[in-house]
Chains A and B, each alone.
Chain A
Amino acid sequence: MKKQQNLLLWKMLYVLIMIGIGYGVYASSKSLSYNWRWERIPQYLISFQPTDIKAPFDGSIESVDPKEHKIVVQSDSGQTFVVTKYDKAIAHTGDLVFEGDTVATIKGWHLGSISWGLVMTLKISAVALVFAMIIGLFTGLARISHNPVLRYLSVTYIEVIRGTPLLVQIFIFYFFIGTVLNLDRFTAGVAALSVFTGAYIAEIIRAGIQSIHPGQMEAARSLGMNYIKAMVYVILPQAFKRTLPPLAGQFINLIKDSSLVSVISITDLTKAGREVVSSTFAPFEVWFTVAILYLVLTGSLSWVIQKLEKRLSASD
């Protein structure tokens, strides 16, 4: 009973501290006489503005038929462009149009630029995560291999990558390797992130494998499994379970590190945030929103991994 009371007290203290911090933020923004304009943010997440339907070429409006709900655009060279799905016609029959002119508008929602940035961050992180796992797994295995060439190569890779900043690696991938191999921004960004994270995952996996009792490998081999089967069916599943917490940390780092690819003009969440700041002049609101969205991503990932850990703990 006494213990419980104490716990309640601590919880109350926690809430008080959090309120204090919140008030601190509020008070400091007051002292800056900052004008909060939260209402400017939602449109960059999701927008209900009508979308423009644009003419794909120079030409003229052949017909606007409200009855059949159809707009026909004729190009100077004889092509036609037919719009049947629209809500409001802007052009009239006989109008001259140039490429990119709005012909009609259509209602409905679409994602704002911050949301597109979020999607890009998610995409880059997911693709990089898959490649980083593959690189990490093979490098980790090479690291404990009996073949000295494999061992030296993997150690060199790990040391070089861990000893240089990710930002510099991204520049090297984009400007040097990207130019030599003719990579686009996205590929260069994903490659840099995968190679960077792979080095850390390799060390985690190596430690995980080495933490499995050698008797497990001996038992598997004595049952007639070759090295690869013993690894795949006996060692790696156990090592994976054991390394899940550090791997989760590395995955979360990957999501956060992905913000650095904005330096090579990939419009991820961070770059989208920067763009929105320059068009709204509401930097505090935008950066808080961006931070919360990163938190949502990393938070969901930890949640999924915790579930996975729970499921794997059935054998404990």
Chain B
Amino acid sequence: MTNPILKDSIIVADSVDKIYPNGCHALKKVSLNIKKGEVVVIIGPSGSGKSTFLRTLNQLETISDGTIHIDDINLTHKETNINKVREEVGMVFQSFNLFPHKTALGNVMLSPMKVLKKSAKEAEAEAKDLMAKVGLADRMNNYPSHLSGGQQQRVAIARALAMSPKIMLFDEPTSALDPEMVGEVLDVMKSLAGGGMTMVVVTHEMGFAREVADRVVFMEDGELVFEETPDRFFESDNQRLQRFLGQVL
């Protein structure tokens, strides 16, 4: 970490390559630095490697080449305990992935108790606070199957926050939701961003990108094509970006 630009970066991805076992070259020399408290939105066409890149940041996908540092820890170093890193990096999935055998509150409490060894009492108190924060104080004892999609996604956010992460990764958190529920989830994410959380968000919600992002990144064909502040991003005359925006807007 001799480079001064990288000093206040919390995520440093350097020339990351990912080739899946089936030969699919999903990431090609992707480099991205993200500073503490920054909100970065990644957009790009389907299959461009957005999810793959996000998932390399907590090593749900291993990388084939390059390096990733999270909070100065080299993820691919032999001695790195990836479970410790994951405690600091929360992730929210497109399909929620709540634990169906636990209540909403049980979902939020599980990891603090089993990983951070918190007492049930402490974990429950914190989980209740978080549930209130995402606006679900009255749904704590519901099983996921008895919650709407928007509610489930908010529980999933509370569950990730319960580990007090330094970084939150969102992979199309609103894509599986009915349109009327998108707003409630985006609102929670906005307030999280307002609270200074470092966030990396893959989304097709251009409004969110414009309003909340500090930087927007455009990926295509496994390459990071273009990154800019939202104002300049949407004004840009980059050919590939224009073509993509022309399709989605």
Which residues of A are at the interface with B, using a C-beta cutoff of 8 A? Answer: 213, 215-216, 218-226, 229, 233-234, 237-238, 241, 312, 314-316
B159 within 8 A of A: yes
Are B143 and A314 in contact (CB-based, < 8 A)? yes
Which residues of B are at the interface with A, using a C-beta cutoff of 8 A? Answer: 58, 60, 83-84, 86-87, 89-91, 93, 95, 97-103, 110-111, 114-116, 143-145, 156, 159-160, 163
Given A215-B95, A314-B143, A315-B143, A225 and B100 contact (CB-CB distance below 8 Å): no
**Chain A residues near B103 (CB-CB < 8 A):** 315
Given A222-B89, A225-B111, A315-B143, A241 and B101 contact (CB-CB distance below 8 Å): yes
**Chain B residues near A312 (CB-CB < 8 A):** 101
**Chain B residues near A315 (CB-CB < 8 A):** 100-103, 143-145
Rounded to whole angstroms, the CA-CA distance of A213 and B99 in the bound complex is 11
Rounded to whole angstroms, the CA-CA distance of A237 and B101 in the bound complex is 8
Given A224-B111, A226-B83, A215 and B143 contact (CB-CB distance below 8 Å): no
Known A-B contacts: A222-B58, A222-B86, A315-B144. Give 5 more (CB < 8 A): A215-B95, A221-B83, A223-B160, A237-B101, A315-B102
Question: 12 pairs across A/B with beta carbons < 8 Å?
Answer: A219-B98, A220-B111, A221-B60, A222-B60, A223-B90, A224-B83, A224-B84, A224-B116, A225-B111, A234-B99, A234-B110, A238-B100
Report how many A-B pairs have Cβ atoms within 8 Å. 72
Given A229-B115, A233-B114, A316-B145, A221 and B100 contact (CB-CB distance below 8 Å): no
Closest chain-B Cβ to A59's Cβ sits at a distance in Å of 65
**Chain A residues near B91 (CB-CB < 8 A):** 218-219, 222
Rounded to whole angstroms, the CA-CA distance of A222 and B88 in the bound complex is 9
**Chain A residues near B83 (CB-CB < 8 A):** 221, 224-226
Rounded to whole angstroms, the CA-CA distance of A125 and B160 in the bound complex is 44
Are B114 and A218 in contact (CB-based, < 8 A)? no
**Chain A residues near B100 (CB-CB < 8 A):** 238, 315
